[in-house]
């Protein structure tokens, strides 16, 4: 197999699961989902048809990843965070053909109990604080908190808040990598 699945996990036929991945208690992978290498799915995780998770994606307990969601490599999904996939759901109206795409960029982290409304893009290495409600696109490296989520700063690839000087330069205190803030966007320059 090349991956580990707890005996209580349910894995439908047609799933693609990368080598070194781990699927824990009571999780369910549905037909047509793709799980990259070295992923870790915690307890009670649901991965719906068509979902794509890149390599080294970490999904904490009690997360449902619905059709339309794509997570690039190194994404972190915190405990009980929520994705939606229909903008205007109604029990009596079938909108299965109207799932909206949600892209979570490489290295992004979404905190516990956060909600991401479908149709939005989370930029690479963005950091969404616990309990936040994302209702619009999120720039790369942005730090967002609140309901609705609002940007309060910028984060390094190592998960540290960046403090920019008067020239628009910042250094990550852990990695010593350099970042530049220019015209409202951040880029790593080292």
In a domain, 151, yes or no: yes
pLDDT tens profile 17-63: 999 999 999 999 999 999 999 999 999 999 999 999 999 999 999 99
> What pLDDT is attached to residue 2?
96
3-state secondary structure of 6: coil
Q: How many folded domains does the chain comprise?
A: 2
Residue 77 domain flag:
yes
Residues 83 and 119 in one domain: yes
- How many of the other CB atoms lie within 10 Å of CB of 30? 18
At 110-139, the pLDDT tens digits run 999 999 999 999 999 999 999 999 999 999
Q: What is the pLDDT of residue 1?
A: 78
Tell me: do 55 and 13 sit in the same domain.
Answer: yes
* Residues 107 and 181 placed together within one structural domain of the fold: no
The verdict on residue 147 lying in a domain is: yes
Task: Please name every residue paired with 151 in a beta bridge, in sequence order, or none if there are none.
Answer: 144
| Per-residue pLDDT, 162 | 98
10 lies in the same domain as 32: yes
Does some domain include residue 46? yes
- Statement to judge: residues 111 and 189 lie in one domain: no
Let me know whether 127 and 62 are in one domain. Answer: yes
Residue 105 belongs to some domain of the structure: yes
CA gap 94, 148 in Å, rounded: 27
pLDDT mean over 62-66: 98
16 lies in the same domain as 42: yes
| pLDDT on residue 65 | 98
- Domain with 180, as residue range(s), is 161-190
Rounded mean pLDDT of 83-88?
A: 95
Q: Is 190 a residue whose pLDDT tops 80?
A: no
The pLDDT assigned to 77 comes to: 98
- Is the pLDDT score of 109 beyond 80? yes
One domain for residues 48 and 124: yes
Percent of the chain with pLDDT over 70: 99
In a domain, 72, yes or no: yes
Q: Concatenated DSSP letters for 66-124?
A: -TTEEE-TT-EE-TT-EE---SS-BTTB--GGGPPPEEE-TT-EE-TT-EE-TT-EEPT
Q: What is the pLDDT of residue 97?
A: 87
């Amino acid at each position: 197999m090349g991956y580990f699945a707890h005996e209580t996990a349910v894995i439908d036929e047609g799933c693609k699961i990368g080598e070194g991945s781990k699927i824990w208690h009571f999780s369910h992978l549905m037909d047509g989902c793709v799980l990259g290498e070295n992923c870790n799915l915690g307890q009670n995780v649901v991965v719906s048809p068509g979902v794509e998770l890149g390599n080294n994606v970490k999904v904490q307990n009690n997360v449902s990843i619905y059709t339309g969601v794509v997570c690039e490599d190194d994404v972190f999904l915190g405990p009980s965070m929520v994705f939606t996939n229909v903008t205007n759901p109604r029990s009596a109206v079938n909108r299965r053909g109207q799932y909206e795409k949600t892209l979570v960029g490489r290295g992004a982290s979404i905190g516990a109990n956060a909600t991401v409304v479908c149709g939005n893009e989370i930029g690479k290495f963005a950091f969404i604080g616990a309990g936040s409600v994302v209702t619009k696109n999120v720039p790369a490296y942005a730090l967002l908190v609140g309901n609705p989520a609002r940007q309060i700063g910028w984060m390094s690839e190592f998960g540290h808040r960046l403090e920019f000087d008067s020239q628009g330069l910042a250094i990550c205190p852990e990695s010593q990598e350099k970042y530049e803030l220019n015209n409202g966007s951040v880029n790593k320059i080292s």
